[in-house]
Structure 1
Amino acid sequence: MQTSNFKLITIAEIKTQYPFLIEDEKFDYFDEWEDEDFFLVSEEDANFDGNFYLDIYEDKEKKWLAKLLNLPAKKIEEIRIEGILINGNFSASGSIINAEGDYGPYVFIKGNVSCQSLLLGGANVEIKGNVTAKEVVMTYYNHGNFNCSGSINSPVFIVTDHNTAFAERKNDLFYYNDRADDVDPKDECEYDDETDDEIISNELRKLLDNPLIETFEELEEFLKRGELVLKQSNPPVKSYDYWKQFAILNYRGLKLVPLQYRTKELCDEVVNASPYAIPFVPLEFITAELCEKLVIKNGFAISQIPDQFITKEICFLAAKSGTVITLIPEEYYSEELILMVFKNGRNEPDINDVPSVFITENLLEEYVKIGKGLWLDKACKQNGIEKLNVLKRVIDSGIEYLENIFGNHFSKETADYAFTLYKNQEKWNQYVQKFKKKFERIGLNEYL
C-alpha cells in the first residue's frame, strides 16, 4: 500500500531543517543552486507503488512527478528541483531508477531502502541504512556517486566505472566491481576485439531471463524500464509488439529481440526507423531493394550496408541523399561522385577526405564554387597545383562566384583579375561595396 507523502520544500528550508547536509561536499556540488529552488521531500517513512524515478530533470519524469504531487505539469516545468530527501525508510514495489548516466539529483535517504532493483547513474546518492533489492543493484558511469552506510543485499550487485562505496554486501548469485579487487575471476568480463565490447561473464548471463544480453549496457536497458531481468523471478513473457517498440526506440535493441520475434516484418520497421540497426538484421532479410530504400531516405545509411550490396549505383544514391565521402568505399570514387557528395552534404565539404589521385584543378574549382573552400590552400600545396589558377577558373565561371572568392579567398590578385572581367557589369560595384572593408584593408582604394 502506498503511504508516501512527498512534497516540495525550498532549499532554504532544507538548509534550516537538515543543516548537516551542507557539510556533504556533494550537496550543491557545482554551487549552482538557489535558495528558491526545491527538494522533493518525504519527512517520514515512505512506501511507493511502482517504479520510483530519480531523473526528475527529464521531460517524461517531470510528467510522472506532476502526477505524484498532484500539480499541473506546467508548474513542474516552471520550477527547479535539485534533490530528493526521505527522512526515514523507503520502500518501492518496483525499481528505483536513475537512467541518466551523465547527471542526476542529489538524493539523501536516512533509513533503509527496499525495491525490486536499484539502478544508479549520474546522481549523487547517500543512503544511511541498508539496501535490499529483490533482483539487482547496479551502479554505472563515473559521473555519479553512491555511498551506502549499511549493507547492499541483492542477488546481483554490479559496479561499472562508478564511484560506489558501501560498508557490507550480501550477494548470493553474482558480484562484479571493476574498481575493487575482490571479484571472483569467473565473474570477470572478457574483452571482445571485434566489437570492442566488454562481454559479461557466463556466470551472469546464465542468470538472466534474456540470454542474448552480452554487455552491462544491454542489461541497463531493461533495468531502466523497471523490468524483471533474472530468470529466477519468472518475468512475464514479452509480446511481439513489445519487442518491436523496444527495437524501434533503440536500434541496438534489435540484437536483443528473441529470434522467434525477429521477423522480416519487424526488422523492416526497425531499420526504417534507423538504418543503424542493419548490423543486427539477419542477412537473409537484407535485399538490394531494402538497401536502396534506406540510402534514398538517408545517405548515411551506406555506412551500414553489407559489402555484398554496395554498388556504384547505391553509392550515387547515397551521394544524392547526402552523406560524407569517407562512408563510401574508395573503389567507387570518381570526380562526379565526389562533387555530388560535396553538393548534397549537410556540412562544409572537406577536401582533406579526398585521395590525392582525384585532386585536380577542375575538382578544386568546383570545390570552391560549392562552399567556402576552407582547405584549398592546403590541397593545392600538397598536390602541386597553383592556387591562383584555381581561383581564376572560378572567377571565369561567372560574376556570381565573386561571393565565394571575395568572401573566402580575397587578395589583390583575385580582385585585379575579377576587375578585368567584370568592371563594366552593374553587379561589380555591388560586390565592391559589399566587401569594401577588404578592399580598404589591402589598399585597393582605386576600386572604391
Structure 2
Amino acid sequence: MNLELCNLDIQKINFEYYHKMQTSNFKLITIVEIKIKYPFLVEDEKFDYFDEWENEDFFLTADEDVNFEGNFYIDLYEDKEKKWLTNLLNLPTKKIEEIRIEGIFINGNFSVNGSIINAEGDYGPYVFISGSVNCQSLLLGGANVEVKGNVTAQEVVMTYYNHGSFNCSGSINSPVFIVTDHNTVFAERKNDLFYYNDRDEIDPKNECEYDDETDEEIISNELRKLLDNQLIETFEELERDLARGEWVLKQNNPPAKTYEYWRDRVLANYRDLKLVPKQFKTEELCNLALNITFHALPFIGQDLITSELCEKLVSKDGFAIQVIPDEFITKEFCFRAAQSGTMLRLIPSAYYSGELVLLVFKNGKHEPDINDVPAQFITEDLLIEYVKIGKGLWLDKACKQNGIDKLQVLKLVIDSGIKYLDNIFGNHFSKETVDYAFSVYKNQEEWGKYIQKYKQKFERLEK
C-alpha cells in the first residue's frame, strides 16, 4: 500500500467524517488509520476475525477517557442503533447508512451512567477498551469485546450465546454476574449477590431447573428473589429487560411501571405480556397482544380464555390450534382450523378423518407433508390434491407404501387442468406424463407455452 496516498485518503475522509459529539469525545476513523495508529490491535485474533473488513470501513474511537450520558448501544449494524448513531455523531441518516462501522476503540476508561447494551446474540462489532468500565449494567451477546481494566456495574453483568466473546483482564465487580453459553474470560470477580456460569463451578442453589412443560431452563429462586419483577423466570426474559436499559434489582427501587409502559412493551414484543403484573394485565391489554399474534394466548389471564375467544383465533388463523387449551378442542373446532389453513400435525390425531385430512391439504398455507398422514387416510384423491398443491416430493414413497398407481395419480392431476402442468413438468417430468399431457392438451394454444418453458427437459427426453 502506498502510505502517502493512504494518508491523503485518510485526510480526505477525516475532513468529511470527523465530528466532535455534543455529549462525548468519539470520532470516526478508518480501519486503515486505526491499524497504523494502534498496530497492537491487529495482533488480537478477534480483530477482523473473518477477514471481511475493508480499509475504508470505520471504527468509532475515543483517544481518552469517556463519560457517556444514557445507554450506550454496541449493536451498530441494527436500524434502531443507526438512528441513535445519527444523533450521537451529528451525521445525516444517509451518511450512517452509507458507511460501515466495524468496531469501537476507547483508549482510556469508559463510564456510562446508563447500561452498555449488545442485545444481538448472533453478531456484533469488535470492541477494545484499554481502561476500565463503569456502568449501570453490561449486556453482551455477539460482539467480541476486550476490556483491559476492571468492569464495575451497579446491577448486572450478563453475557449470553456462543457467537461472541468477552475478555476482561481485570475484575468483574457487580452484584449479579451471569454467563450463559458464552466465551467469557476474566481474571477475578466480586459478586455479592449472585453468580451463574454454565462453564464454571457454581453454588448448586444458583443452578437452573429444567421445565418439561415449557422446555425451558427456569432460573434459580436465589436470582428471582433479587429481581424487581418476580414474574421473570428465564435468562431470556431477564435479557429483554437489560436490553431495554431497565433497572432490574429490587434493592435499587426501580421506577414504578404504569399501564402505558406495559402497553408499549407488549406492542413491541407480545412475549412481554407474560411479565405484566396482574393489576395491569387487563382484557384490553391481552386483546392488543392477541391482535398481534395468537402466540400470545398462553400469556393472557386464564379467566379470559373462552371457547368464543379460541374460535375467533382459529377462524382467523388455523395455526392457532397449536396454542388452544385441550378442553376447547372438538371435532368441529378441528374442521374450523382446517378451513382456515393449518398443518395436520397440529391437530390431535384422535380427530383425524379422511374428510379432515383432505380439507387440511386443500386449504393449507404451505405445502403439506404427506408423512404426517397415517396410512389409512392416504387415498388416491388425497395424493391428487398433494400434487396439485405443490411439489409432491414424497409422492413416489406414498404410492409404493400404500399400493397406489403413481402414474394414474399424475394423469388425474393433468386432467384437472392445464395450469397443473407446472407441477407435473416441474417435479414429475417423464415420457409417460408428457405423452398423456400431449394427448389432452395438444390442441390448446397454451400447450406451446409449456413446451417452450420446459424446452431443455423436452430436448433431453428426445435424446
Kept in 1: contact 2:361–2:385 (CA 8 A): no
Quick check: 2:362–2:385 contact (8 Å CA) kept in 1?
no
1:92 aligns with 2:116: no
Mapped to 2, the partners of 1:200 and 1:430 lie a distance apart of 62
How is 1:191-230 mapped onto 2 (pairs within 5 angstroms)?
A: 191-230=210-249
Q: Which amino acid aligns with 1:36?
A: E
SS in 2 for 1:138: strand
Is this contact kept in 2: 1:37–1:80, CA < 8 A? yes
User: Which of 415, 418, 431 pairs up with 2:434?
Assistant: 415
Deviations 1:15-52 (A, max 9, x none): 11111101100111111111111001111111011111
Shift of 1:120: 0.7
Contact 1:244–1:270, Cα closer than 8 Å, also in 2:
no
Between the aligned partners of 2:33 and 2:454, the Cα distance in structure 1 is: 60
1:236 aligned partner:
255
User: How far does residue 210 in structure 1 lie from its aligned partner after superposition?
Assistant: 0.7
Give the alignment of 1:25-424 within 5 angstroms.
25-181=45-201, 183-423=202-442
Map Cα deviations across residues 180-218 of structure 1 (whole Å, 9 max, x no partner): 12x122222222222222221111111110111111111
The one of 25, 39, 49 equivalent to 1:19 is 39
Q: Distance in 2 between matches of 1:112 and 1:437?
A: 66
Q: CA distance change for structure 1 residues 153 and 379 in 2, over 3 Å: closer, same or farther?
A: same
Taking the aligned partners of 2:68 and 2:418, their CA distance within structure 1 comes to: 72
Label 1:336 to 1:85 Cα distance change in 2 as closer, same or farther (>3 A).
same
Q: Kindly provide the amino acid, as one letter, of the partner of residue 93 in structure 2.
A: A
CA 1:405–1:184 in structure 2 vs 1: closer, same or farther (change >3 Å)? closer
SS in 2 for 1:214: coil
| Counterpart contact for 2:58–2:100, Cα < 8 Å | yes
SS of residue matched to 1:150: strand
**What amino acid is the match of 1:96?**
I
Q: Match of 2:253, as an amino acid?
A: N
Q: Supply the AA of the counterpart residue of 2:187.
A: A
- Of residues 336-345 and 15-24 in structure 1, the stretch that sits farther from structure 2 once superposed is 336-345
Partners of 2:30 and 2:418 in 1: how far apart?
Answer: 65
Compared with structure 1, are the counterparts of its residues 430 and 222 closer, same or farther at alpha carbon in structure 2 (3 Å cutoff)?
Answer: closer
| AA in 2 matched with 1:151 | S
Deviations 1:278-333 (A, max 9, x none): 11222210122222222233222111111122233333333333322211222333
Gaps of 5+ in 2: 1-21
Unaligned runs of 5+ in 1: none
The 1:372–1:188 alpha-carbon spacing in structure 2 relative to 1, beyond 3 Å, is: closer
1:264–1:435: structure 2 CA closer, same or farther, 3 Å change rule? same
One-letter amino acid of the structure 1 residue matched with residue 153 of structure 2: A
Change (3 A) 1:309 1:43: same
Pick which of 200-209 and 245-254 moved more.
245-254
Mapped to 1, the partners of 2:446 and 2:461 lie a distance apart of 22
Amino acid at match of 2:261: Y
**How far 1:388 moved relative to its partner?**
1.8
Q: Taking structure 1 as reference, are residues 14 and 360 closer, same or farther at Cα in structure 2, changes over 3 Å only?
A: same
Per the normalisation by structure 2, the TM-score is 0.90
CA contact (8 A) 1:339 1:367 kept: no
> Cα gap change, 1:416/1:69 in structure 2, threshold over 3 Å: closer, same or farther?
closer
- Give TM-score, length-normalised by structure 1: 0.93
Using the alignment, how far apart are the partners of 1:410 and 1:279 within structure 2?
A: 46
Kept in 2, the 8 Å contact 1:40–1:84? The answer is yes
Letter in 2 for 1:91: S
Partners of 1:400 and 1:148 in 2: CA distance? 64
Please tell me whether the aligned partners of residues 272 and 294 of structure 1 are also in contact (alpha carbons under 8 angstroms). no
Q: How many residues align?
A: 442
In the alignment, the residues of structure 2 paired with residue 122 and residue 396 of structure 1 have an alpha-carbon distance, to the nearest angstrom, of: 55
